[in-house]
Amino acid sequence: MAQPLLSRLRERLGGPRIEVLAPPWVAPVLRRMAEVDEVIEADLRHGALQLGERWRLGRMLKQRAYDHAVVLPNSWKSALIPFFAGIPVRVGYAGDLRFGLLNIVHAEKPGREAMALHYARLSEMPGTEPALPLPVPRLREKGNETAARFGISAPYTVLCPGAEYGPAKRWPYFGELAAKLDGEVVLLGSLSDKKDAEKIPGKNLIGQTTIDEAIDLIAGAALVVTNDSGLMHVAAATATRQVALFGSSSPEHTPPQSTVARIVWLRVDCSPCYQRSCPLGHFKCMNGLAVERVLEEIKSRS
């Protein structure tokens, strides 16, 4: 969702060298972006201040003499590193009272807008909207050797039954869908998705692939069916035909940015609630999404 921002920074700043500071789990995705020259991995714990570690990292980055920093997270602590690094231009949203840590500060727009636009706005000066349409995200592919290494034959369908955010994003009928699909079915996801895949028929690679391998397998698939998750955005950025299932979240906020993506969203009265678990206990937004409805979307894109 931040790749359009990187493309616009390239355009606006005259093709600068772009380096990205990121946690290790997202580094393989960034290394597949043509706009990124280098990824610097920083294994900072979520929710932890780690002031000393951030200061040391900032002082190390100071030696690289950056001209410009863009801070994507809204937390106060995320703005500390470019401040400690002495980067002269530090851009981001106001977030958690970050005036001073940032010196080009954007005001948040009311409501929940598309995240790609939210990030791309940081390529402009405050008050200026980025030109539309935004660049389409695209990840470089490395060929189809990964599928052969896992013993997978084309054509195959990838199912991604997990969603890191919580159960309110997880469609409960992937098992029934898998039983009705033609050809080989491959299950992908992280170790935290393992329980969701236990009863789903298919080649279960949940927690058994690297992110690089997952990207290759998704890029080589004939179809991907996924919840609103990171792998949904991977499928979009590899231009793989997909059906994306939304429940507690909104495709108006985090859509798959692809012309070959099909979105299924029931728009029940209480959706989107953006909760990790259904606060009302009925989970209508996903329980009411029938397998037949998803099959219709799959066939309509054949």
Domain end, chosen from 123, 145, 170, is at: 123
Q: Do 224 and 278 fall within a single domain?
A: yes
pLDDT, residue 205, reads 97
The pLDDT tens digits along the chain (302 residues) read: 999 999 999 999 999 999 999 999 999 999 999 999 999 999 887 767 789 999 999 999 999 999 999 999 999 999 999 999 999 999 999 988 888 999 999 999 888 899 999 999 999 999 999 999 999 999 998 877 999 999 999 999 999 999 888 889 999 999 999 999 999 999 999 988 887 788 899 999 999 999 999 999 999 999 999 999 999 999 999 999 999 999 999 999 999 999 999 999 999 999 999 999 999 999 999 999 999 999 999 998 64
Q: Do 162 and 283 fall within a single domain?
A: yes
Neighbours of 121 (CB within 10 A): 20
Residue 145 maps to a domain: no
Among residues 265, 268, 263, 267, the alpha carbon closest in space to that of 297 is found at 263
pLDDT, residue 95, reads 87
- Structural domain range at position 79: 3-123
d(CA 169, CA 32): 27
Q: Do 107 and 242 fall within a single domain?
A: no
Q: Are 9 and 17 in contact (CB under 8 A)?
A: no
Q: Specify the number of domains making up the chain.
A: 2
Q: Do 178 and 282 fall within a single domain?
A: yes
Q: Do 161 and 295 fall within a single domain?
A: yes
Q: Do 187 and 105 fall within a single domain?
A: no
- Give how far Cα 171 sits from Cα of 46, 120, 167, 248, 289, Å: 26, 30, 8, 10, 8
d(CA 42, CA 45): 9
Residue 138 maps to a domain: no
pLDDT, residue 301, reads 61
